Structure 1
């Protein structure tokens, strides 16, 4: 048997391959999005001095790309589905312990590798701006894991809410996001942001649980997709929300910090499209050649997430030897986005090596 056929044969019959495909799309969206917007700029007078920049600033034509690459809603949807199915088949406490362990181990390994590297950078006199860039790229993505851990811990309560109230269980977290958005527009109640972050991403998490409980039929996509598109457009055009799905310097505030109604509208549109194509997607995923890479990426999802920015940093450190190259360590101006696309295979190759070394800790 070919490798793809062996992977397909080893996949449990009860596993929903469409949700796994959605998780794979989500991880690819996050990784590619970070690699495309994380510009590291080297000071021409002092190449070891770095600062961060965004190619989105002053480039409204690039904003639609953020609507495709900001896939955190898909991540939390898949997480909610897994939580509902896992806790139902394995028991709440045993599933919760195993899930938290799988989330924590890759993060602990990342810290064990980078803390000594950080100390080495410090004692060798790395500029403060460079240390800030390294710390930001490594630490900032971890907020996602903190939210996922919080929702994982709350999974028994959230699952009970979906079982009892169905889709009506979405109302409290949506109301919390509305309150936070109003307070943000008024410049008050910043203390709500951490709570609203968990509450906001609880919305797609609950939708994933609803799918696992068979209370999210395909026809719901006929509502979520157009409603999400219409709501997102209205929020930008009429309510003054930023059009970018991610933070852009100069916008004043971000649709992700904490997730705004625009972020929920985007997630609704994406999930609506998924529900509409899910049946056809299931047919494609029965082909071993299609399923094998999806299964492989799911098995290494946490490792990929934890180490993708390390791949960017390692390539950038190597780039210091050659000086600023187009798309690497130069200002994100002109044709920079095109040049950055050419670096993606290099980042991916380095990430594959890191995953080969550290995936064993996720198993």
Structure 2
């Protein structure tokens, strides 16, 4: 059975829209929403994703960028492209082996990169990432605060739902303190502490800078079944606007990106948890299937998710000089999800 059909009509289906688990039908079968048949999309003109190997030569030559969550998904795509564009990269992750491997590959291919192992919600890791940037490259110009989680299970652990269900996404009346606390700590406190150390250095340098915080479409609207993730990403967008106001006078621009369905390892892992939860709850029907796709995903003949590279293209644009008049924006990089 198609995984999208398995997800349809479950309370947890909407988790897909927060991080890329699509809940769509076979594209050859017309879908019904609220009893109204919708069009077949097989003859639509698809939007092609950016070439994963595309980059702009020397765009960040001589600049230093910190990227958190560099081991997988969007973070890995960001450090790879930033290095190709000439940046000195500091990658940060609590997945030690995977994170260090990504950074080693960059150096082997002629880039310049350092790895910092640690949890972004700790003061020690946040201080160390900035220290590494300054001691290795003399300064800090940009940062992408990408590290985040959807649940309280350590990303490096194998899925064992029966033992981990108290750590997974749940509605408020079913949610545990462990689930709530870990997601809020990593997603919100982590972004705050990262920005705090990054901004200390940028202010001290007095030469401007730019920061991009990775939020989510879940930070622009509500979604069922995942209260901590939604709350944490709304907080990220609020922190972004607050910091943009406070640091405009220093020439430091701060924006966020808010993606919908994006194909990353975190999404695939979340899909497994969704399937396990659906099975355990015997397919309980809730509000989550009312809307699960973006405009571009709905009209695509394969109803594809966004790619990490599509998201990273916007992140790096927002750091670049081309975005010199943009600050305090919560960019909806969501394929039109919040437009309709």
TM-score (norm 2): 0.30
Larger Rg: 1
TM-score (norm 1): 0.29
Q: In proportion to residue count, which structure has more strand? A: 2
